[in-house]
Structure 1
Amino acid sequence: MNVMPPKGPQQQVRTRLLDLIKSGDLGSEGKLPTERALADRFGVGRRFIRQALDGLEAEGLVWRRQGKGTFAGQPADPMGDLAAKITGETNALEVMEARLCIEPELAALCAKRALPEEVTRLRMLAQRQWEATDAQAMELWDGSLHRLIAQCARNRPLLTAYSMLDKIRSNPSWVRIRAKSRTETSLQVTNSEHTAIVEAIAAGHADAARIAMRDHLETRFAALRDELVAEQIE
């Protein structure tokens, strides 16, 4: 019988960091504790923490901002702050309509331009979203996946437009509505749709990526509309 060798300190730290990230206990921004706090918590030197975080950052599972800390997922584009000016002048369905206009084209461009290592990150983010066990973690990883697709399209105007929508849809009341519309079946459908999008991008098939993204957003649009109707009835 083969016996697996014991994990070294760095691999143990990586495993514990992944468990922490998947736990959904990082707050709405997904901010991790400081390196010092993590070192104390795990009982290892900061060097092991830093090396493990370097690896997770390379995989697209965390990102860092100088002076701010380390965060799970993918960073929001700063241009998204423009959305604050129009949040009160729109609604969730209008935002979904706008996403249907923009994100299929972003997926198509991503299929043409994504690097192999970026495709690997997309797969990892899709897997994290599927493994998430609470609404906060689902939002974190779902947003990170769509955000990375937009970034990998490498079109500044479209990314700016997407970032505004991304910022608007972070409205807490809309997050709550999305959470209510999720069911075990819908989560399975989302995972299947995310997989179709990522695999089309991996294959470099722009048309297939465009169609897969549109199918996914139309599914979510219908679920959101149904939930809004149900809330009005209540």
Structure 2
Amino acid sequence: MKNQNGAAALRAALLANMRSGHWRAGDKLPTERELSETYQIGRAGVRQILAEAKERGLITQLVGSGTYVSKEAAALLEADDSEASGMHTSPAELMEARIIIEPMIANLIVRNGTSADFLRMEECCTRAENAGSMQEFEVWDGALHQAIADATHNTFIKQVFQLMNRVREQGDWGALKMRSLTPERRRAYELEHRALVNALKDRDEDGARGLIMEHLVHIRHNLLGY
């Protein structure tokens, strides 16, 4: 499961770095070995993810030189964002939906979650806690919420969360989250994540539902002020 989780985080990090402008056209990406070590994914997995990015036109690879952000990457991602914005969701709308949906999945996780699912959640917590930047923390935060959704073992729920993660990648959400995410708030989120994962592991449905709601209300207050 570690490989699967690292792969999801690497995909998210590639997009986040390009969307934010941290990696610009012509910038050289870390080596396959560095990506493998950072995201704890095998070299074959790294190559597969880079191949997907290359197929999308986001990167170019030069034998003996390395991997670079393509000249077209920004325009391609902007086109993707424009397509997604056809169903553009504001941060307030996203939070409204999350507060309705997320507490309700505790029942499915308590019934269907496996030990591997809970190990995956714990790894996300650990990687978020050890993240060296707010951007890296946000990647692992998103991976944790996807791991929680995947633990329902319900295809529809997983697709809903994938859609919510796409909204989280949109500029409005990212900018608001980065502005609001102080070190103190980050630490509070980390503690809330740990408490939630522990409740789910203990099959404490009522406790987990309450912790999810508390966490989401906390996020809404920090993001939107109410």
Please indicate, yes or no, whether the TM-score normalized by the shorter chain is above 0.5.
yes
Whole-Å Cα distance in 2 between the matches of residues 92 and 215 of structure 1?
Answer: 18
* Residue correspondence of structure 1 range 93-132 to structure 2 within 5 A: 93-132=92-131
Give the alignment's Cα RMSD to 1 decimal: 3.6
The alignment's TM-score, normalised by the length of structure 1, stands at: 0.64
Q: CA deviation at 1:94?
A: 0.7
Whole-Å Cα distance in 2 between the matches of residues 57 and 104 of structure 1?
Answer: 31
* Residue correspondence of structure 1 range 153-172 to structure 2 within 5 A: 153-172=152-171
Asked which structure has the greater CA Rg, the reply is 1
Whole-Å Cα distance in 2 between the matches of residues 219 and 120 of structure 1?
Answer: 25
CA contact (8 A) 1:63 1:70 kept: no
Whole-Å Cα distance in 2 between the matches of residues 112 and 130 of structure 1?
Answer: 28
* Residue correspondence of structure 1 range 1-234 to structure 2 within 5 A: 27-28=14-15, 37-38=32-33, 56=40, 64=45, 67-69=48-50, 84=84, 86-88=86-88, 90-226=89-225
Whole-Å Cα distance in 2 between the matches of residues 177 and 116 of structure 1?
Answer: 34
The answer for unaligned runs of 5 or more in structure 1 is 1-17, 43-48, 72-80, 230-234
Whole-Å Cα distance in 2 between the matches of residues 100 and 140 of structure 1?
Answer: 21
CA contact (8 A) 2:122 2:197 kept: yes
State the one-letter code of the partner of 1:102: I
SS at match of 2:129: helix
Residues 29 and 183 (structure 1), Cα distance of their counterparts in 2 relative to 1, 3 Å cut: closer
In the TM superposition, what whole-angstrom CA distance separates every residue of 1:182-230 from its partner, at most 9, and x where no partner exists?
112211210111011100111011221111111111100111102xx9x
Whole-Å Cα distance in 1 between the matches of residues 119 and 126 of structure 2?
Answer: 11
SS at match of 1:68: helix
RCO comparison, higher one (Cα < 8 Å, 6+): 1
Give 2:23's aligned residue. Answer: none
CA contact (8 A) 2:103 2:210 kept: yes
State the one-letter code of the partner of 1:174: W
